[in-house]
Amino acid sequence: MRVGFDARMISWRGVGTYSRNMLKQFAQVPDLEVVCFYNDGTSDRIPSGENFVKVALNEEVFTTRNLTKIGHAVKKAGCQLFHTPYVVAPGNLDCPLLVTAHDIIPLLFPKSIPSFWLRRTYKGLLADAVGKADHIITVSTVSQSYLLAHFNLPLGKVSVILDGVGHEFGPRSDQETAAVCAKYGIGRPHILWLGEYIAHKNVTALVSAYSALSPKIRAHYKLVLAGEKSGDWQEVHKEAVRRGVGDLVNFTGFIEEPDLPALYTAADLFCFPSLYEGFGLPPLEAMACGTPVVCSNSSSLPEVVGDGGLLVAPRSAALSAAITEVLTNDNLRQRLRKRGMARASMFSWDTAAAKTLDLYRELAQQ
């Protein structure tokens, strides 16, 4: 079976993690040939596979004019199926189209895309992809329900295939965690958050919750906000200063991917107050590393975290109370570590890829 895979987004957060892990699994399937379409600068992120063929597209993702060109390239490559891990659907394909729609966050939280042009383009691309797709994968039942309702789709058109957690995520040694903390100027002990500074991530609520902790806890545990300094990060910084905790909050900037397991392991608590997630990889990765998790009880997060973390309303008072409870209760911390690692072990990219391959075979026969 010869399948086309759009790898132009392979260096992105989220979609890139999904793409890399899927391709790692596909590289081990003997009866599968994968044509990886890429843009210059992303080719080196594609995992190695003797059954992979690389084809340069060099077409922008957020430009609708290039969709026909991509369709011609897919047809020329002789693909029996084309899979896009993002909502970008080529035109005039001769083969079935499989679309992975992780979420519809930009429709629910428009401010997550600050540019009006990008918001309008995304809405158009999403509607176009949903309309063209022969089948859609999404990564949680919550995302499935939003897709079905928003686009009035039949249930049989959207399959839920849960994301996995990479084998690299697990507790790391004291030596490795110390080295990563030194690299990013992180003091210990600390509370950790990781993500992007965009509206639905609700980071200001975490800063507010941190400022409401007792002076004794704040004196002992700093707050580490790990993520590229872009989007709304300056507003979050201003909130920290306004709340009087500016000197206690460490904005690390971008964290390199190989450093993530040690970063999670080093934290005494991982807090994820997001208002909406299509899936929510960071709390799952933190749990896999044995770090206690406090997480919001919204959208897909209860489906992912389950009993592996402490689920609370994504408001500052509830977050502050949960953080205090975890940091002052050794027995609870140990229970969360044990339950979190057990929960994370239930999510596997091997399983996700196997279920996706079943869809490939089904669609290719249509």
State the pLDDT confidence band at 62, using cuts at 50, 70 and 90: confident
Mean pLDDT of 271-299: 97
Question: What local confidence, expressed as pLDDT, does residue 171 receive?
Answer: 98
Residue that is written with structure tokens 């450093």 in the block: 259
Residue count of the chain: 366
If one compares 213 and 117, the residue with the highest pLDDT of the two is: 213
pLDDT at 123 over 90: no
Q: What token pair was written down for 222? A: 């700093």
pLDDT (average), residues 28-39? 94
**Sequence-distant (≥ 6) Cβ neighbours of residue 296 within 8 angstroms:** 202, 272, 273, 274, 275, 311, 312, 313, 314, 319
Q: Using 50, 70 and 90 to split pLDDT, how confident is the model at 121?
A: confident
Q: What is the pLDDT of residue 2?
A: 96
Half-sphere exposure of 160 (CA within 13 A, CB side): 16
Q: Which amino acid is at 223?
A: L
Q: Which of 56-70, 123-137, 262-276 has the lowest mean pLDDT?
A: 56-70
Q: At a CB cut-off of 8 Å and minimum separation 6, what does 44 contact?
A: none
For 42, list phi and psi in degrees, rounded to 5: -115, -10
Average pLDDT over the chain reads 94
pLDDT surpassing 90 at residue 42: no
Q: How confident is the model over 315-322, as a mean pLDDT?
A: 98
Say whether 151 sits in a helix, a strand or coil.
helix
Provide the pLDDT for residue 96.
96
Q: How far is CA 193 from CA 8, 270, 332, in A?
A: 28, 6, 20
Structure confidence at residue 69 as a pLDDT band (50, 70, 90): confident
Q: Of the given ranges (105-109, 140-144, 210-214), which has the lowest mean pLDDT?
A: 105-109
C-alpha dist (Å) from residue 188 to 147, 184, 265: 42, 12, 11
User: What tokens were used for 245?
Assistant: 């905790």
**pLDDT (average), residues 316-327:** 98
Q: Return the structure tokens found at 345.
A: 């072990």
Q: Domains along the chain?
A: 2-164+348-364 (3.40.50.2000), 174-344 (3.40.50.2000)
User: pLDDT of 347-362, one tens digit each?
Assistant: 999 999 999 999 999 9
Identify the pLDDT of residue 99: 97
Please, which pLDDT band fits residue 151 given cuts at 50, 70 and 90?
Answer: very high
Establish whether the linkage from the previous residue to 189 is cis, with ω within 30° of 0.
Answer: yes
191 has which bridge partners?
223, 269
Separation between Cα atoms, residue 317 and residue 295, nearest integer Å: 13
| Residue pair 201/274 in contact by the 8 Å Cβ criterion | yes
Per the CB < 8 A criterion, the answer to whether 209 and 317 are in contact is: yes
Q: Give me the helix-helix angle, 316-327 and 330-344, nearest 10°.
A: 100
234: phi then psi, degrees, rounded to nearest 5: -65, -35
Q: Is the pLDDT score of 119 beyond 90? A: no
pTM of the model: 0.94
Averaged pLDDT, 51-64: 88
Q: What angle do CA 325, 329, 334 make, to 5 degrees?
A: 115
Lowest mean pLDDT among 21-35, 96-110, 147-161: 96-110
172-200 mean pLDDT: 97
